[in-house]
């Protein structure tokens, strides 16, 4: 079947992206679902800062690749052996599922699954196949999702069934922004009522951490960003305080507000400067949860003796350390109960021809989550 998709042929094209057009909008061929696969009509797909980092070439990708790693849509066809889904089901697409059998998977840490991780980094579907072709050449998949397209072939592990009453434009944000931000609080940090947190980076992911910290009962939630335009919504979603990352007294102020430092600092901006501040604002015995990602190979520096003497923990968290089938239905329930108002994160919708311009808007910090509507 022929369809329209956004293909990246080359990483590292310069900004402004409205001029360099790293995403080519073109017709590509998608193969029908084979055994164990599902064909999705993609109705909405969110634009994440990780898309921007890969377009900028900070982390290598196999190219040419159909981009997009969060989305929502309707199951249109299932291959032989698929019993979990049927045509007409509404689904959200996510990245974090595993093979179900390896050591990490049986340990409830599917984001660390080596089998799926290997397919993901090679640009293949989880079953090792590619189902996309452009100009007679096979294209790679992005994280087994490739949602910047009118249709996607995927495997059941990347899909979560959702209630048909949930708008696709909202459901699309759950597969990365929500699962990553909320999971960093619930799964990685395990914040308890009364504890204090600082969130560096109040973007699509960081604001989900703010909302999750509020659900967890955190008593102090400090939002920190370089862009003060992000503060009003952050306060609405749960921040008890907001501070500029440029504030010379940032560390001092956080320590004063929290009687010596926060229990948990979440670094969700991908900035080295933020990571240094995150370590400094954390109390003795506290944890720094590292979610933001810069370029692969980036080196960070921290005072090692202080880390030892103050028993601080640096903890990485990928995709909110999620178990998709356990966590996403819960987050959707929080959304329908009004406790996780993910709809507040949608800045607007766009069509294919606006994707490159939206990369510039995200880079300039003008938007939170922009949602692509592949069918107009």
Ligand X SMILES: NC(=O)c1ccc[n+]([C@@H]2O[C@H](COP(=O)([O-])OP(=O)(O)OC[C@H]3O[C@@H](n4cnc5c(N)ncnc54)[C@H](O)[C@@H]3O)[C@@H](O)[C@H]2O)c1
Question: Given the rule CB under 6 A, which residues bind ligand X?
Answer: 48-50, 53, 176, 180, 200-206, 224-227, 230, 245, 268-271, 273-274, 291-293, 317-319, 362, 365, 368
Nearer to ligand X, 297 or 376 (CB): 297
CB of 58 to ligand X, least distance (A): 9
Report in angstroms how near the CB of residue 104 gets to Zn ion at its nearest: 6
Which of 3, 82, 92, 113 binds Zn ion (CB under 5 A)? It is 113
Nearest-approach distance from CB 241 to ligand X, in angstroms: 14
How many angstroms separate the CA atoms of 291 and 268, rounded?
Answer: 5
Structural contact between residues 198 and 265, judged by C-beta atoms closer than 8 angstroms: yes
β partners of residue 3: 28
For the CB of residue 120, give the shortest distance to ligand X in the complex, in Å.
Answer: 12
Q: CB under 5 to 8 A by kind: which of ligand X, Zn ion, none does 318 bind?
A: ligand X
H-type helices in the chain, by residue range? 17-20, 49-55, 103-106, 114-121, 168-171, 179-183, 204-216, 231-237, 250-257, 272-281, 304-309, 324-336, 355-363
Q: Which is nearer to Zn ion, 99 or 361 (CB)?
A: 99
> Residue 174 carries which DSSP code?
I
Q: 131 or 362, CB closer to ligand X?
A: 362
Least gap, CB of 147 to Zn ion (angstroms): 11
The footprint of Zn ion on residues 171-190 (CB under 5 A) is: 176
Among 65, 99, 340, 350, binds Zn ion (CB under 5 A): 99
Q: Is 48 in the site for Zn ion (CB under 5 A)?
A: yes
Q: How far apart are the first and last CA of the chain?
A: 18
Report CA-CA distances (Å) from 140 to 9, 40, 70, 159, 299: 10, 17, 16, 19, 29
- CB-wise, 248 or 308, nearer to ligand X? 248
| One residue of 67, 105, 222, 234 binding Zn ion per CB under 5 A | 105
C-alpha distances (whole Å) from 367 to each of 33, 147, 362, 363 are 35, 20, 5, 9
- Closest approach of Cβ 113 to Zn ion, in Å? 3
User: What, of Zn ion, ligand X, none, does residue 273 touch, CB below 5 to 8 Å by kind?
Assistant: ligand X
Report the chain's C-alpha Rg in angstroms. Answer: 20
Instruction: Count Cβ neighbours within 10 Å for each residue of 19-51 and write b for 16 or more, e otherwise.
Output: eeebbbbeebbbeebeebbbbbbbbbbbbbbbb
Q: Which is nearer to ligand X, 90 or 141 (CB)?
A: 141
What is the C-alpha separation between 364 and 344, in angstroms, rounded? 19
Please count the other Cβ atoms lying within 10 Å of the Cβ belonging to residue 300: 12
CB of 317 to ligand X, least distance (A): 6
For residue 45, the minimal CB distance to Zn ion (Å) is 11
- For ligand X, give the closer residue by CB, 270 or 324: 270
CB of 244 to ligand X, least distance (A): 9
The partner in contact with residue 23, picked from Zn ion, ligand X, none with C-beta cut-offs of 5 to 8 angstroms by kind, is none
102 binds Zn ion (CB under 5 A): yes
Pick the closer one to ligand X by CB: 47 or 75.
47
Nearer to ligand X, 33 or 324 (CB): 324
Instruction: Return the residue nearest ligand X (CB atom).
Output: 203
Residue 265 engages Zn ion in binding (rule: CB under 5 A): no
What are the C-alpha distances in Å from 31 to residues 125, 156, 205? 13, 17, 33
In this structure, the chain runs to a length of 376
User: CA 298, CA 48: separation in Å to the nearest integer?
Assistant: 20
Interface positions with Zn ion (CB under 5 A): 48, 50, 98-99, 102, 105, 113, 115, 176
């Amino acid at each position: 079947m022929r369809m329209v998709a956004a293909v990246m042929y080359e990483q590292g094209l310069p900004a402004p992206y409205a001029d360099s057009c790293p995403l080519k909008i073109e017709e590509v061929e998608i193969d029908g679902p084979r055994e164990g696969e599902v064909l999705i009509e993609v109705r909405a797909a969110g634009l994440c800062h990780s898309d921007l980092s890969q377009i900028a070439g900070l982390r290598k990708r196999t190219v040419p690749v159909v981009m997009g790693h969060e989305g929502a849509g309707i199951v249109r066809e299932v291959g032989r052996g698929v019993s979990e889904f049927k045509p007409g089901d509404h689904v959200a697409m996510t990245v974090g599922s595993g093979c179900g059998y390896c050591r990490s998977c049986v340990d409830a840490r599917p984001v660390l699954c080596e089998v799926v991780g290997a397919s993901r980094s090679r640009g293949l579907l989880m079953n090792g196949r590619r189902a996309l072709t452009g100009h007679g050449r096979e294209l790679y998949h992005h994280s087994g999702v490739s949602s910047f397209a009118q249709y996607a072939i995927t495997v059941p592990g990347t899909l979560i069934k959702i209630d048909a009453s949930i708008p696709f434009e909202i459901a699309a944000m759950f597969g990365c922004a929500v699962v990553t931000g909320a999971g960093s609080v619930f799964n990685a940090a395990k914040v308890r009522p009364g504890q204090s947190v600082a969130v560096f980076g109040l973007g699509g992911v960081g604001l989900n951490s703010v909302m999750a910290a509020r659900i967890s009962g955190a008593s102090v939630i400090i939002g920190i960003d370089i862009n003060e335009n992000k503060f009003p919504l952050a306060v609405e979603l749960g921040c008890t305080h907001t501070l500029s990352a440029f504030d010379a007294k940032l560390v001092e102020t956080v320590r004063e507000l929290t009687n010596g430092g926060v229990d948990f600092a979440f670094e969700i901006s991908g900035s080295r400067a933020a990571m240094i501040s995150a370590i400094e604002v954390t109390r003795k015995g506290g944890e720094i949860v590292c979610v933001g990602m810069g370029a692969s190979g980036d080196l960070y520096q921290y005072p090692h003796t202080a880390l030892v003497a103050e028993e601080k923990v640096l903890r990485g968290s990928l995709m909110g350390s999620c178990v998709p089938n356990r966590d996403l239905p819960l987050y959707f329930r929080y959304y329908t109960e009004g406790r996780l108002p993910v709809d507040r994160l949608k800045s607007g919708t766009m069509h294919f021809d606006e994707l490159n311009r939206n990369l510039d808007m995200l880079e300039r910090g003008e938007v939170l989550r922009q949602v692509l509507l592949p069918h107009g």
